[in-house]
Structure 1
Amino acid sequence: MNFRKKTGVSWGCDPRSIENGTLLQDWLTNEGLAKQKLVLDRVESGGRGLVATQSLRQGERLLFVPSKFLISADSEWGCAETGKIIKEAGLPEWPTLAIFLISEASRGTTSPWFPYFVTLPKTPSSILQWTEDEVNIWLTASPVREKALECIRDVTETYRDLRATIFSKHPDVFPSQVYTLEAFKWAFGILFSRLVRLPSLGKLALVPWADMLNHSPQVDAFLDFDQSNGKSVVFVTDRAYQPGEQVFISYGKRPSGELLLAYGFIPSEFNAHDYVELEMGLDNEDPSYDAKLTALEEHGLSSYPPHLI
């Protein structure tokens, strides 16, 4: 289940497009990516994803994306002046990466990351593309409604702060027609849906090609950085795949509401990590109050404040 709204960015592609996948894979291969057993294709779940080109066994290691392809807060900026201003400003990791994405994407073919950016969705499936009215209508009874509104407001406020403190002071470096609120929401939408924490590397990063893998709540395979074997991003399959089958990873053991907030979709298959929060408390006029209080205390709980179970 996806929700999309048109944005004002001039880069990227249709979220279901695979036409630029060959350009991305050829670029990565020419720059040192190992021969792949996966190919980008249209899929029923996720619109597009990586599909096995041959039989894959359980426990097989795949991808091997070299570390030089990782986009992180310490990546080298294509525009040195932009990078210098942002580094001197000492911004947190997320806004730094958002500005990096806008800076590089807006440079078009002059950016070394061009083959990657042309595969990114022009309109990310992100809660940031919703208006507050849409959130209130579509999530009216959802426990994530307030979190969704907070997310939209936080990103909008971060953009306004940056416009007042940095962008407006360097209009030649941060032209207003490029560094728009729509572009900022696009960048954060990309980060929400594609940024991963690599435990062995201890950093957040975008991983071209690997980020074409879709999530399944039935899978326990995760991306990680292999310090040996060429220092690359890999994952180990937790099941076998046949040629033509979509290969999945896990974005974490998250309920559907969290997946909607972070990635902009709700799984079409059963999600064992879903739960409902029930607010419960004890009435001291209840004849069974003492027994219920004892039961709560035996489980490390008390009768006040109300508990989320």
Structure 2
Amino acid sequence: MAAEADTGKLGAGGETLAVHLPPLSEEDPLHQDKKRILERRNLSCLFHIPISSSAVETLKLLDQMVQAARVVHMDKLELYFAGDNDIGPFSARNETESLNLLFKTMNKLRLTSNAVVKEVLQMLKDEIVVRLRSVGKTDGEQMISETQNHDAEDSLLKWGEHHGVKSKLQIAFFQGAGRGMVASENIGMEDTALEIPESLIISEEILCQTEVFLALKDFHNITSETMLLLWSMRERYNLTSKFKQYFETLPANFNTGLSFGIDALAALEGTLLFDEIMQAKQHLHQQYDDLFPLLCTNFPEIFRKDICTWDNFLWACELWYSNSMMVVLSSGKLATCLVPVAGLLNHSVSPHILNYGRVDEATKSLKFPLSRPCDAGEQCFLSYGKHPGSHLVTFYGFLPRGDNPYDVIHLDLDTSVDEEDATAQSVSTSQTTHMVRGTWLSRSGGFPTYGLPQPLLTHLRAALSCDLDESTTEADMKEIDRMVLETLLSIFIPMLEELPEPEESERETANWDVKLALDYKDLQRRIISSIVTSCTSALENV
């Protein structure tokens, strides 16, 4: 990261502080899109702050720096949904990354600054922290803690501490979410909330020391990932295991979408999540059938039939799906790992911890530093990744609280236009994938987007009017928009009709899996309903 503290003269403005943000990476596949946005909004990665500026003027410059940092951190989805005049915030994650970048930049600048400049930088840092504290405060993440016996979890922490784990977190239980971790003290920006020795990380390097690996390394091309899964299935019952304390604190059932029963699947029928879960289940059943009873026959002492059951295999699969992390080990290898203790951290769309994927070469430990402050008693959240609700239900068994910007509905539109009929579809068509999400996430509810994504509307407008040009009248534009909105309604009204609201009594008496399935359908209904409402409202004003 380039961060320099240059002081000099800028015209008649007196002494100035030059703040250099990292430039856009040429290797970023979104480089050109981000560059275009920065240019359109007259932003750059270099800012000059007059030292004599008032606090108000300095904070206005901070606003511009934040806007530039937001663009630097935009992902493909955020670029798609950002309107032409949308300056953000684009998502809680993007905001946290952007403010965190600025905080680190100011910290580096202070190392080479004089006392006067340090005062300016400190004011900027303080404001950045205030803004970071506001991220996630309104998204419903404040869960209610419950009083429960967690002796087993406390034993896990003691076991971890005995093996070198350092933690500023403690275990708590939360309504509707189960276990989680809260700060045992105020944890500031960039402070390490949790530190796990590499020796406790369950990875392929540990696998190579086991009899499972020695037996299977040359057997039927079984991958190391599958070996780790099989090792976990056995190690759960190994009374002399180094990781005995860890396995004893794992739940008997993970309750992910992979464990959905018939009633829950029936509730999901007609949704994409139904297809996703069924495909995943079929894959796992096929994998199990390929392994057993073959392994029990060839290695009866290692793979006992009473342990190698479908239920135990599914449990191990769910363990790795819901608890594994991608970690760069000290060897430099990127590996899928289980990280004891860290697996207790819950996911949030407004996480405190974003960057945690590399073992520190000096300390040989995996550190979890905060990207935004976490006060004592506050639940500390991790990011599991940029996942939609369907993925989180299938492989983790929950829907996140708050608005998840990655909950989108993809549309495959076959919309090339015949030259003789602007409203007809050509025989030689090109298929383009577009998407929608809840229109409540949009900051533009009126013309020209009506809360809908600009790329989708541009695509449909072009498809429905090949001769659209500068001579197109306002009346023609309104007619085109009317056709676009009616086209969208023709797509989404049938989708909404396929998602009737369940009887409240059905939800109250349902099992956990049916309730989760109904919650997912509620989310889909809410998204689709918002599209229908926006289109209907827009038609009334076209």
One-letter amino acid of the counterpart of residue 429, structure 2: S
| 2:349 corresponds to | 217
Q: Distance in 2 between matches of 1:265 and 1:287?
A: 48
| 2:186 corresponds to | 55
Q: Distance in 2 between matches of 1:44 and 1:240?
A: 23
What TM-score comes out, normalization by structure 2 length? 0.48
Q: Quick check: 1:303 aligned with 2:434?
A: no
1:143-162 equivalences under 5 Å are 143-162=272-291
Structure 1, unaligned runs of 5 or more: 1-15, 294-301
Aligned to 2:181, what secondary structure does the other structure show? strand
One-letter amino acid of the counterpart of residue 43, structure 1: F
Between 1:197-206 and 1:252-261, the stretch displaced more is 197-206
Larger % of helix: which? Answer: 2
Structure 1 residue 77: Cα displacement: 7.2
- Aligned-residue sequence identity (percent) comes to 24
| Preserved CA contact (<8 Å) 1:77 1:100 | no
Q: Distance in 2 between matches of 1:288 and 1:166?
A: 63
Q: Distance in 2 between matches of 1:115 and 1:122?
A: 14
Indicate which of 26, 29, 36 corresponds to 2:158. 26
Q: Distance in 2 between matches of 1:94 and 1:151?
A: 16
| 1:163 corresponds to | 292
Indicate which of 394, 410, 423 corresponds to 1:261. 394
Offset from partner CA, 1:158-187 (integer Å, 9 cap, x none): 111111432222223211111101000000
Q: Distance in 2 between matches of 1:93 and 1:260?
A: 26
Q: Quick check: 1:282 aligned with 2:412?
A: no
Q: Distance in 1 between matches of 2:340 and 2:395?
A: 19
Offset from partner CA, 1:131-169 (integer Å, 9 cap, x none): 4x3453132232232121111111111111111432222
Between 1:180-189 and 1:281-290, the stretch displaced more is 281-290
Q: Distance in 2 between matches of 1:148 and 1:259?
A: 11
Indicate which of 175, 193, 216 corresponds to 1:86. 216
1:31-42 equivalences under 5 Å are 31-34=163-166, 36-42=167-173
Q: Distance in 2 between matches of 1:283 and 1:303?
A: 5
Structure 1 residue 68: Cα displacement: 0.4
One-letter amino acid of the counterpart of residue 349, structure 2: P
Indicate which of 364, 367, 370 corresponds to 1:237. 370
Aligned to 2:288, what secondary structure does the other structure show? helix
Q: Distance in 2 between matches of 1:84 and 1:71?
A: 17
Q: Distance in 2 between matches of 1:209 and 1:307?
A: 40
| Preserved CA contact (<8 Å) 2:412 2:431 | no
Aligned to 1:116, what secondary structure does the other structure show? helix
One-letter amino acid of the counterpart of residue 52, structure 1: A
Aligned to 1:173, what secondary structure does the other structure show? coil
Q: 1:17 to 1:178 in 2, by over 3 A?
A: farther
Structure 1 residue 73: Cα displacement: 2.4
| 1:122 corresponds to | 252
Which structure has more RCO (C-alpha within 8 Å, separation ≥ 6)?
1
What TM-score comes out, normalization by structure 1 length? 0.82
Q: Distance in 2 between matches of 1:239 and 1:21?
A: 26
Q: Distance in 1 between matches of 2:403 and 2:180?
A: 19
Aligned to 1:233, what secondary structure does the other structure show? strand
Between 1:264-273 and 1:150-159, the stretch displaced more is 264-273
Structure 1 residue 45: Cα displacement: 5.7
Superposed CA RMSD: 2.5
Q: 1:81 to 1:232 in 2, by over 3 A?
A: closer
One-letter amino acid of the counterpart of residue 158, structure 1: Q
| 2:304 corresponds to | 175
Between 1:84-93 and 1:176-185, the stretch displaced more is 84-93
One-letter amino acid of the counterpart of residue 288, structure 1: A
| 2:314 corresponds to | 185
Q: Distance in 1 between matches of 2:385 and 2:207?
A: 29
Q: 1:272 to 1:17 in 2, by over 3 A?
A: farther
Between 1:148-157 and 1:274-283, the stretch displaced more is 274-283
| Preserved CA contact (<8 Å) 2:348 2:401 | no
Structure 1 residue 254: Cα displacement: 1.1
| Preserved CA contact (<8 Å) 1:225 1:231 | no
| Preserved CA contact (<8 Å) 1:222 1:251 | no
One-letter amino acid of the counterpart of residue 307, structure 1: T
One-letter amino acid of the counterpart of residue 114, structure 1: K
1:240-251 equivalences under 5 Å are 240-251=373-384
Q: Quick check: 1:271 aligned with 2:424?
A: no
Q: Distance in 2 between matches of 1:306 and 1:168?
A: 50
Q: 1:166 to 1:157 in 2, by over 3 A?
A: same
| 1:141 corresponds to | 270
| 1:5 corresponds to | none
Q: Distance in 2 between matches of 1:45 and 1:59?
A: 29
Q: 1:112 to 1:240 in 2, by over 3 A?
A: same
Q: 1:230 to 1:279 in 2, by over 3 A?
A: same
| Preserved CA contact (<8 Å) 2:213 2:227 | no
One-letter amino acid of the counterpart of residue 342, structure 2: A
Structure 1 residue 76: Cα displacement: 4.4
| 2:232 corresponds to | 101
| Number of equivalences | 281
Structure 1 residue 59: Cα displacement: 2.1
One-letter amino acid of the counterpart of residue 186, structure 2: S
Indicate which of 73, 81, 98 corresponds to 2:204. 73
Between 1:139-148 and 1:97-106, the stretch displaced more is 139-148
Q: Distance in 1 between matches of 2:204 and 2:393?
A: 25
Offset from partner CA, 1:182-238 (integer Å, 9 cap, x none): 000000000000111114651110000111110001226242223334121112212
